[in-house]
Amino acid sequence: MEIPPMPSCIATQVPFAKLGRRAIDFHFDGGDVSSDGGLLLLRQVERRLGLLKAVAQMLPDPRNPWLVHTTEQLLRQRVFGLCQGYEDLNDHDRLRDDLALQTAVGKDQAAASSPTLCRFENHADRAAAVVTQRVLVEQFIASFKKAPEELVLDFDATDDLVHGDQKGRHFSAYYDNYCFLPLYVFCGEQLLVAYLRPAKKDAALHAAAILKLLVTRLRQAWPGVRIIFRGDSGFCRPPLLSWCERNYVHYVVGMGKNSRLLADAQWWREQAARAFADTQQPQHIFGEFSYRAGSWPCHRRMIAKAEHNAKGANPRFAVTNLRDAPQALYEDDVLRPRRDGESDQGMSARSVLRSHQLLSVVAQSVSSAARGTCLCAAGATAQHRPGRHRTRPRSSLDPALSSAQGRRRHRAQHAPHPLPPRQRHPSSSRLPRRGAAFRYRITKAECRPRGR
C-alpha cells in the first residue's frame, strides 16, 4: 500500500489584506515571551547594593553545597517573585521556566521548584531573622557618604490580612478582619526593621526595645546625630515617652482625641469653624498647650491642629518634646498625616510570605528593601528628603549655637497662631532637671550619648 505524501501547509501568500502601508504578517516560530521585564531592573539595582548577597551569607543552609541551587539563588528567586506580586510558592512551578526570572536569579536553566523553596524557608530561625535585620541597618548606614544631621525613625504597625488558617492569626477588631500586625521602622524611604507579630498584641509591642537597639547602633556610627522618634497614637505609651526623655531622643507621637483635649483646643476649633463659614475653604489652625494624662509623671507639650472642611471638624493632636512652631512641624513633614498606600507605611512590605516560619520576616524585610530602598540607592541615596533624614554640612560654629540660631530664625519665619492668654505656652531654653513638672526638647549638644 502506497503512503500518500504529506500535504504542504506552508502558505505562499498572506491571507490578510493590507491596512494602508501596513502589512499583516503572522508566524508560529516566535521565541519565549515574559511579562516580568521589571525583574531585569531589580537585578541591576540589587547587584549594585549587594543586599541579597549579604543576607544569603547569614542564612542557614545545611544542604550539600554542590547542589544545583545556591542559597543566594534561592533567596533571589523568592524575593524577586514577591516584588513581582507572586506571593504563593506554587507560583514558582510556572515561574521557574520564565527566562526573565532565570536571568535575574543568575541561572541558565530551570530555577528552583516550590518544594525546594519551601524547605529553604523552613530552615530559617530566630537568629537568622535577627542577623538579617542587622544587615538592613548596616546597609542603611553605608548608604551615607557623610554623617546626617537628623534622622526621623518612623514606627508603623500595619495590618497584613490572612486568607487561611495560618498559625498565629487572630481577629483584629480595629481592622475588622483576621490578620497579622507587623511592625515596620522606616527612615525616609529605607526600611530598617520588619517585625512580624500576631494581631492580638499591642501596636507598641517591643517598640521600645527596637528603638533602643536602633538608637544605640546609629549613635555608634554618628555620635552627634539628632534622632526623632515618630509614631501614631498606637505608640503613645508612657514608658516609651519616658525612655526617649531619659536617653536624649526627640519624639513626636500622635494622641487620640478625648474630652479634655477637645476642651483645651476649643478656641482653635471655633476659629477654624468661623473661618470656614466665611470663606468656604478648608481651614488649618495650629496651637499648643501643656497636657498631663493620668498615667504621665509630668506635663508634656501637646500640638493641636484644628482642621475644618466641607465634611466638618477634624481635630488632631500630637505630643512632642520638640520646640519648633506647630505649623512648622507640619510644613517640615514631621507631623504630616500618613495616608494608606504610601511607601513609608509599608505598602511595598505587605507581601508577607504565607508561612509561619521566621523566614517570612526575613524575606518580607528584603523584598521591602528591594522595592523601596534599591531604587533610591541607585541614585543619590543621601540627598535631603523633607521630614526624613537630612545631610546638611556641619557648620564650623559651635553646634549648639548654630542650632539655636537656626531655630530662632525658623520661629520668626513661622510664627504660630496667636494663643489665648490663659493657654499661652511657656518657653524655656534648656531641659529642666529630672523630675521637673514640665519637660522640653533638649538642645542638639545634649543629644550626644551619655559619657561623651
Q: What is the tens place of the pLDDT at every residue in 182-211?
A: 999 999 888 899 888 888 888 899 999 999
Residue 395: pLDDT over 50: no
Tell me what pLDDT residue 206 has: 92
Return the half-sphere exposure (C-beta side, CA atoms, 13 A cut-off) of residue 88: 7
Q: Give the count of beta carbons closer than 10 Å to the beta carbon of residue 339.
A: 7
Tell me what pLDDT residue 151 has: 93
Residue 113: pLDDT over 80: yes
Tell me what pLDDT residue 403 has: 47
pLDDT band at 249 (very low <50, low <70, confident <90, very high): very high
Tell me what pLDDT residue 413 has: 44
Q: Kindly state the cell numbers that stand for 226.
A: 539628632
CA 182 to mean position of chain CA atoms = 11
Please name the residue that has the C-alpha cell 507605611. Answer: 345
Among 31-35, 95-99, 227-231, the range of highest mean pLDDT: 227-231
Question: What SS3 string covers the chain?
Answer: CCCCCCCCCCCCCCCCCCECCECCCCCCCCCCCCCCCHHHHHHHHHHHHCHHHHHHCCCCCCCCCCCCCCHHHHHHHHHHHHHCCCCCHHHHHHHCCCHHHHHHHCCCCCCCCHHHHHHHHHCCCHHHHHHHHHHHHHHHHHCCCCCCCEEEEEEEECCEECCCCCCCCEEECCCCEEEECCEEEEECCEEEEEECCECCCCCCCCHHHHHHHHHHHHHHHCCCCEEEEEECHHHCCHHHHHHHHHCCCEEEEEECCCHHHHHHCHHHHHHHHHHHHHHCCCEEEEEEEEECCCCCCCEEEEEEEEEEECCEECCEEEEECCCCCHHHHHHCCCCCCCCCCCHHHCCCCCCCCCCCCCHHHHHHHHHHHHHHHHHHHCCCCCCCCCCCCECCCCCCCCHHHHHHHHHHHHHHHCCCCCCCHHHCCCCCCCCCCCCCCECCCCCCHHHCCCCC
Tell me what pLDDT residue 30 has: 63
Q: Kindly state the cell numbers that stand for 169.
A: 492569626
Tell me what pLDDT residue 366 has: 47
Contact 362, 128 (CB under 8 A): yes
Residue 32: pLDDT over 80: no
Q: Which residues pair with 210 in a beta bridge?
A: none
Tell me what pLDDT residue 242 has: 93
Tell me what the mean pLDDT of segment 51-57 comes to: 87
Q: Give the count of beta carbons closer than 10 Å to the beta carbon of residue 405.
A: 13
Contact 141, 331 (CB under 8 A): no
Residue 121: pLDDT over 80: yes
Least confident of 9-13, 19-23, 308-312, 417-421: 417-421
Closest by CA to 237, choosing from 258, 256, 218, 223, is 256
Nearest-10 crossing angle of helices 207-221, 238-246: 20
The CA-atom distances, in angstroms, between 171 and each of 167, 168, 204, 246 are 12, 10, 18, 36
Mean pLDDT of the chain: 75
Tell me what pLDDT residue 14 has: 56
Q: Kindly state the cell numbers that stand for 190.
A: 529605607
Nearest-10 crossing angle of helices 207-221, 126-142: 40
Least confident of 21-25, 75-79, 244-248, 416-420: 416-420
Tell me what pLDDT residue 65 has: 64
Residue 38: pLDDT over 60: yes
Higher pLDDT, 442 or 255: 255
Residue 397: pLDDT over 70: no
pLDDT tens digits along 137-188: 998 999 899 999 999 999 999 888 888 788 888 898 888 899 999 999 999 8
Task: State how far the Cα of 136 lies from the Cα of 175, in Å rounded to an integer.
Answer: 29
Least confident of 31-35, 49-53, 133-137, 326-330: 31-35
- Kindly report the backbone phi and psi dihedral angles of residue 263, in degrees, each rounded to the nearest multiple of 5, phi listed first: -70, -40
Tell me what pLDDT residue 422 has: 40
Tell me what pLDDT residue 43 has: 87
Q: Give the count of beta carbons closer than 10 Å to the beta carbon of residue 114.
A: 16
Pairing between β-strand 160-161 and β-strand 250-255 as defined by DSSP bridges: unpaired
Q: Kindly state the cell numbers that stand for 8.
A: 504542504
Closest by CA to 221, choosing from 141, 283, 123, is 141
pLDDT tens digits along 428-445: 333 333 333 444 444 544
Tell me what pLDDT residue 165 has: 82
Tell me what pLDDT residue 325 has: 86
Question: Pseudo-torsion of CA 60, 61, 62, 68, nearest 10°?
Answer: -170
Residue 345: pLDDT over 70: no
pLDDT band at 386 (very low <50, low <70, confident <90, very high): very low
